[in-house]
Amino acid sequence: MDSFQPLALSSTSDESAIVNTVIAMSALSIFGCVATTILVFFLKNTTSLYKALILAICLSNLIFEISNILLVLLAVSSDRACQIIVFWEFFGFFSGIAWTCSFTHFLLRSLINSATLNTFAPKYVLISLVLPIGLSIGLALSAHIDKSNTPGICWHGVQRDGHDSSGMMGFDLPSILASLYCCVTYFSIVNERRSVPPEKRFALSSYPLILAFSVVPWIAFDFYARIIQPNRPTGWISVICIIIWNSQGLLNTLALCFSVNLRECCKSICEKQSQDIYQERGSEYDSLTVGHTKIVKKTIL
């Protein structure tokens, strides 16, 4: 364990800021995931696979955010306990990336040939479970408890010489490849959407960009901290990157809330309620009119 150390921090106040940032952003993203889980059932003109992929992304984000909170709140006493929590953190992170890539592929295929979409479901499940489990096990085995800083907090170690091949190959490289895939596929989706009628388009094409936005700053910071300036304090940069890194669940929810599909659904619900209220009041008015007419007739007679 002596060959590892956490990313350089300038003071214990930096550690406190990072811990508070993790808790705050993770809590917001958890709220976003719960909201998305509820809102997705209101979407219309979608397939069951489309909703299943969104729910899978939400579940992965929930696992990731809850694990983040546990990492900074639980005072673990053994490396084994630390590795278990770190495993679930990375599993949530990588499965979220895999499900988002699968969702991105689904969006593109829905514009090219929607008849074959269901044939990809087993591949989506296999890729989004097997790869994250393998990567998470490898990274969790290198997790350790740092004794020189906040007691009991798990830090994913970085070698003192700044060259951590396992972390770069197991974390940075898959994240970069996934981000590149999402960005390239997003532009393909934008190009294909021009030739497809609006009623055949699925919403939430911004999900791939949200993934890239959430991941790329942390990867850039990781390279900076590992290679360029491995021993230089980077507390405030860490806080900014953590805010972005933990924002995917929240940003996905905002994308869903501003989607045309959900707005149309809410509009139809409001219109239906307005019609029901109008019909109910109309019936009450008709009954009052009939009753008043009867009274007038009796009075005349």
The pLDDT averaged over each successive group of 10 residues in the chain (301 residues) is 38 68 90 91 83 94 92 78 88 95 92 84 94 91 60 56 64 91 91 70 79 90 72 68 88 83 65 59 55 53 54
- So what's the pLDDT on residue 201? 59
Alpha carbon 116 to its chain's center: 26
Same domain, 254 and 267: no
- Residue 29 sits in the same domain as residue 177: yes
141 Cβ contact list (under 8 Å, min separation 6): 83
Domain that holds residue 279: 263-301
Residues 253, 269, single domain; the answer is no
Query: Are 299 and 217 within one domain?
Result: no
pLDDT score for 265: 65
Task: Tell me, yes or no, whether 171 and 232 share the same domain.
Answer: yes
What is the reported pLDDT for 116? 82
Other C-beta atoms within 10 Å of 132: how many? 22
pLDDT for 158: 46
Predicted local confidence at residue 273, as pLDDT: 60
Is 213 in contact with 240 (CB distance < 8 Å)?
no
Distance CA 85, CA 96 (A): 17
pLDDT of residue 65: 93
Q: pTM for the complete prediction?
A: 0.80
Q: Are residues 171 and 74 in the same domain?
A: yes
Q: Are residues 176 and 277 in the same domain?
A: no
Query: Distance (Å, rounded) from C-alpha 137 to C-alpha 156?
Result: 13
Looking up residue 242, the CATH number of its domain turns out to be 1.20.1070.10
Query: Do 87 and 30 fall within a single domain?
Result: yes
- Provide the pLDDT for residue 300: 55
Q: Are residues 209 and 66 in the same domain?
A: yes
The per-residue pLDDT for 63 is 95
Q: What is the pLDDT of residue 277?
A: 59
How far apart, in whole angstroms, are the C-alpha atoms of residue 187 and residue 181? 10
For residues 258 and 210, what is the distance between their CA atoms, to the nearest angstrom? 14
Could you tell me if 275 and 213 lie in one domain? no
Question: Domain check: are 268 and 252 in the same one?
Answer: no
* CA proximity to 258, closest of 206, 193, 199, 197: 206
Pair (267, 242) in one structural domain: no
How many domains does the structure of the chain reveal? 2
